[in-house]
Structure 1
Amino acid sequence: MNTGLLVIAAALWGAAAGAFLPRAAYRFCVPSGEPWREQCPGGHPVRGWFGRARCGDCAEAEARYGSSPALLSLTTAAVCAVLAAATGTRPELGAWLLLAPIGVLLTVVDFRVRRLPDPLTLPFAGAALALLGLTALVPEHAGEWTTALLGSLALGGGYFVLFLINPAGMGFGDVKLALGAGAVLGWYGWPTVMLGTFAGFLLGALYGGALVVARRAGRKTAIPFGPFLISGAFLGLLAGAYAA
């Protein structure tokens, strides 16, 4: 397939997948320890996890709630398009496109409520390893499943050590998310793991520093790290895919 057509197809997939995220984002965006939302702001039941965040029982002016479907759709489309441009027609692109919407959803939830839900982080890691395991059976792939597995264990283990050292600064949700990020990065080798890990910490440090400079946070203020872990993995993945 022509690269331009591939990028367009990936963007269309991302736009369609992102359009189904608003309801899940709304239901998952609750503080740690609280149950997932089961009602819209008007008190009516929210059925299912994926789809528009719109209540048919509320008045028209109050029917919409949660995240903007257009924003989630455009964001997911952009992520998928860039992944397609970097990966090309290699079979692992299928894995990246299936995992991308989950990464976008996790980023939204953690930014809003500083929570990385287990129903997302653990399946993300399992899905990454399973999809890459299948990809390894397809000709013309550019990575190694063994390194993906080891990368998952290494990054998850590293984050677990950081969690033990400073539980206030590193949540256990980040540890579980690191398992999936390590698998994705490990597919393209250890240099990609190191690059993605460094990028995540750098982005987090820059964000925290910007908040301190703007006097919106202190040096000891906790920030959601999941979005930066995901962003770093995304940048590392792009570099690894492009260089493969």
Structure 2
Amino acid sequence: MLGVALVLFAALSVLLAVVDARRHRLPHALVLPGLGCALALLTSAALAAGTPGRLAGIWGGAASAFLFCLVLHLVRPTGFGGGDVTLAALIGAHLGWFGLDAVIAGLLAGFVCGGVAAAGVLLAGARRVEFAFGPPLLLGAWWVLLGEVG
């Protein structure tokens, strides 16, 4: 079931990255059902594998990523949107399968990817450009996930 969860997350990641890049929005209508499916599949996978200890990572990863990003959103709502906050929960659930270290590494990698992309935009001469943060967050998550799975 872990494989199914990751395949669904991969498909949703592509869809969310495209939508966010085009519209600068991460619709809750996509993210929240994805989060529900992820939590159900990952929880089932942990129980089926006889590793209920992973539940703390899955649920705690989702909650901690959500809360961390919620604080960022509350501090600077125009810089970090509500869709990014719910996306963080989705990312945190998947990374949480591998532990809190993976959640932290994935979020950090996402912020690094976002910083590199923003620096590229600035170096290209653009100023005051809206920047979709979902794609870099997803790239950072997958960077860590592929390292964990591989």
Q: Which TM-score bucket, shorter chain as reference? A: over 0.9
2:125 paired with 1:194? no
2:137 paired with 1:229? yes
In structure 1, distance between residues paired with 2:11 and 2:34: 10
In structure 2, distance between residues paired with 1:222 and 1:205: 14
How far the C-alpha of 1:118 sits from its partner, in A, is 1.1
1:110 maps to which residue?
A: 20
Are the counterparts in 1 of residues 72 and 80 from structure 2 also a CA contact under 8 Å? yes
**Greater helix content:** 2
Tell me the secondary structure at the aligned position of residue 47 of structure 2.
coil
Greater RCO (CA < 8 Å, at least 6 residues apart)? 2
User: AA paired with 1:127?
Assistant: C
How far the C-alpha of 1:149 sits from its partner, in A, is 0.3
2:147 maps to which residue?
A: 239
Q: Gaps (5+ residues) in structure 2?
A: none
How far the C-alpha of 1:114 sits from its partner, in A, is 0.3
How far the C-alpha of 1:192 sits from its partner, in A, is 0.7
In structure 2, distance between residues paired with 1:199 and 1:101: 20
In structure 1, distance between residues paired with 2:106 and 2:28: 22
Once the two structures are superposed, what CA deviation does each residue of 1:145-194 show, in whole Å capped at 9, x if it has no partner? 22110010000001100001001100001011111111011110011111
2:61 paired with 1:151? yes
In structure 1, distance between residues paired with 2:30 and 2:144: 21
Are the counterparts in 2 of residues 156 and 175 from structure 1 also a CA contact under 8 Å? yes
**Percent identity of the aligned residues?**
40
In structure 1, distance between residues paired with 2:111 and 2:57: 22
1:134 maps to which residue?
A: 44
In structure 2, distance between residues paired with 1:137 and 1:100: 22
Once the two structures are superposed, what CA deviation does each residue of 1:170-219 show, in whole Å capped at 9, x if it has no partner? 0001011111111011110011111101110011100110111111x22x
With structure 1 as the length reference, what TM-score do the two structures score? 0.58
User: AA paired with 2:16?
Assistant: L
2:118 paired with 1:204? no
In structure 2, distance between residues paired with 1:203 and 1:187: 22
With structure 2 as the length reference, what TM-score do the two structures score? 0.93
> What stretches of structure 1 move > 4 A for 4+ residues in a row?
none
Tell me the secondary structure at the aligned position of residue 136 of structure 1.
helix
Q: Please, what is the CA RMSD of the aligned residues? A: 1.7
How far the C-alpha of 1:140 sits from its partner, in A, is 7.3
